[in-house]
Amino acid sequence: MAITYTSGEQVEVYRFSIPATILIPLTAVFLQAWLPLRFHFFTIFDLPLLVTIGFATARRSPLAGLFTGGLIGILQDALTHQPIGLYGISKTVVGFGASSLGIKLDVENAGARFLLTILFYVVHEVVYFMIARGLVGLHMAWSWPHEIGSGVANAALGVLIYALLDRVKQRT
C-alpha cells in the first residue's frame, strides 16, 4: 500500500504497440458513450481518464502523457455537443501530471495506483469544472461527497484496467 519514492534509474519505462495505442483509447471512448445508455450507473465512471492515467504512468514521459491525454480528451469532446477542449484540457493536465509523478513514484502496485487514480480524478474534475464555468459559462454544481465517491469507484475500476494494460505494455 505504500507509495515508495524511487530514483530515475530504478523506474522502468514501457511502451505500447501502435494498434494498442490506437485501439485502447478508441474502445474506451466508445464504451464510455455506449455503456451508460444500457447501464445508467456507468455515468460515474470515466474510462478515457483511466486509460490516460494508465498510459501516462506506464510510459513515464510527460510529453507523451500530455499528448495522449489531450487527444483522448478531444476525441471525447468531439462526441458531445459542448465546445471541444473541455475534456481535452483536463486530460492534458492529467496526462502530464500522471507521467511526471510516474517518474518519481513507484506506481506498479495496486495501492499506489488506487490512490493515484483518486488524486487525478479529482484534479480532472476540478480543471473541468473551472473551464466549464469560467470559459464556457455552463451551470455546474460542485459536490465533494459526489466527487470523492466517484473517485473511489473510478480508482477501483482503474486498478483492474491497469492490470489489463500491464498485459499489453512492452518493456523498452
Partner 1 sequence: MDVLGRYRNLIVLVGVLFAQVLGLAVQVRRTTNGESAHLIRIWAVDAVTPLEKGLNWVRNTSGGIWHNYFYLRGVRAENRALKLEIERMRLEQARLSQDADQARRLQALLAFKEQFISKTMAAQVIGGTGSELSRSVYIDKGSRDGIKRDMAVITKDGIIGKVLYVYHSTSLVLLVNDQTSGVGVILDKTRLQGILRGTSSGEVVLEKVMSDETVPVGEQVLTSGGDGIFPKGLPVGTVTKVSTGSDLFLNIRVRPSADLSRLEEVLVVTKVDERQAEPDNTAAVRAVDILAERLPTVPPKPATPADGAAKNPAAPPSGAAKPASPGALLAGQSTGQAKPKSPPPNGQAAVVTPSTAAPKASAGAPPASDATKTTMAPTSGAVKFGTSNSGAPAVKKSTTPASPAINPMTGTQPPATGVTGKPAPKPATPTTGPAVTRKPESPPQDNPQ
Query: Which residues contribute to the site for partner 1 (CB under 8 A)?
Result: 26-27, 29-30, 32-34, 36-37, 40, 43, 48, 62-63, 66-67, 70, 74-76, 78-89, 92-93, 96, 100, 131-132, 135-141
Compute the distance between CA of residue 131 and CA of residue 116 in angstroms, rounded to an integer: 23
Looking at beta carbons only, is 58 or 86 nearer to partner 1? 86
Nearer to partner 1, 75 or 155 (CB): 75
Q: How far is the CB of 96 from partner 1 (least distance, A)?
A: 5
The CB-of-16 to partner 1 minimum distance in angstroms stands at 18
State the alpha helices, DSSP H only, in the chain. 18-38, 47-59, 62-79, 86-104, 110-131, 144-168
Nearer to partner 1, 4 or 43 (CB): 43
- Which one, 86 or 116, has the nearer CB to partner 1? 86
Asked if 40 and 18 count as a contact pair (C-beta separation under 8 A), the reply is: no
CA geometry: angle 159, 76, 122, nearest 5 deg: 50
Q: How far apart are CA 163 and CA 140, in angstroms?
A: 34
